[in-house]
Amino acid sequence: MKILVTGGMGFIGSAVVRLAIRSGHSVVNVDSLTYAACIENVASVAESPNHIFEKADICDGVQMLELLKQHKPDAIMHLAAESHVDRSIDGPGAFVETNIVGTYRLLEAARHWWVSQGRPEGFRFHHISTDEVFGSLGTTGFFVEDSPYQPNSPYSASKAGSDHLVRAWHETYGLPIVMTNCSNNYGPFQFPEKLIPVVILKALAGEAIPIYGKGDNIRDWLHVEDHAEALLLVLEKGELGRSYNIGGENEMTNLELVEKLCGVLDRLRPAAAPYSELITFVKDRPGHDKRYAIDATRISEELSWRPSHTPETGLEQTVQWYLENADWLESLKSRTGVGQRLGSSG
């Protein structure tokens, strides 16, 4: 299968690219190389004859259509997005432009190309989204595919908007789509503005490890390699017009997560004092959702998928990767937002 992947130099996108090529697929990797993109993320497959990189912006509909005409993919996996909640608080416009307008222009390019090819039955447009579109849960319950949308940040609102556009293009124009909504991802190559790489970066530097509020916000953590596996499975076997929730079966508070990370670092890179002594509670960010939790019954029952990483194995592997790839981490420190507090302007 030839797959056009948008955002293929990003964290999740690059995991999809690496796995797709290892699985025998051809990949057209489309990325505009914004601040969070890293060419090094696909270094292991960059020289493969099955990998083609195209520097392009999904907001340029003409360019997207030209790429479709040139490469004639069997499927599109749409991962390109602005994704950091804190950045969306400080600058929501970029999120509206990329996540909503960009998705619209990509959908239109895909629709026109699909129609021009005689509406091939095997074509798929796979839209990758987040559980944050569903809002915040209380102490009990889980998000299911039919949960009402109630986004609480500019980021999640922009992703909700893109979800609705994709669904509408299926219902109105018949574009063959599948959708997925995932929980919080972690793993190798994650840009160091998200919680886990920030904790590792701060701890290794001997700096304060910031935790919002009381650290009692709860997330379900999904290893990015498990996520990539699930995404390719949905692309190939998911039912058209259907959405699938993808979770890690790994629910914990932010404080519990950080303490686990500190424990792993204590074992793998011991310091003079336990890393947990660096934990510092800071002012909470505006609109901080209390709890996310995914019910992944549909993908489990219909497609026989479950995550393979446990909290223990996944976090250990992730910390080990960052310790072994200090040069990759060091090369990003000069980029805007790395190691800085964002999202406090609200």
Q: Which two tokens mark 248?
A: 């890690």
d(CA 37, CA 130): 19
132 classed as catalytic = yes
Q: Look at the block and give the residue holding tokens 């990483």.
A: 309
Clarify whether 225 is annotated catalytic.
no
Tokens of 175: 């574009």
Catalytic residue among 57, 82, 86, 132: 132
> Among 31, 82, 86, 155, which one carries the catalytic annotation?
155
163 is catalytic: no
Residues 331, 337, 338: CA angle, nearest 5 degrees: 40
User: Cα–Cα distance between 38 and 98 in angstroms, integer?
Assistant: 18
The active-site residue, picked from 82, 131, 193, 251, is 131
Cβ–Cβ < 8 Å for 100, 162: yes
Q: Where are the alpha helices (DSSP H) in the chain?
A: 11-22, 61-71, 85-90, 92-95, 103-116, 154-173, 195-205, 224-237, 254-268, 297-303, 311-324, 326-332
DSSP assignment of 180-197 equals: EEE-EEESTT--TTSHHH
Quote the tokens at residue 25. 């697929």
Integer CA distances (angstroms), 132 to 53, 74, 86, 194, 210, in order: 30, 29, 13, 15, 22
Catalytic site positions: 131-132, 155
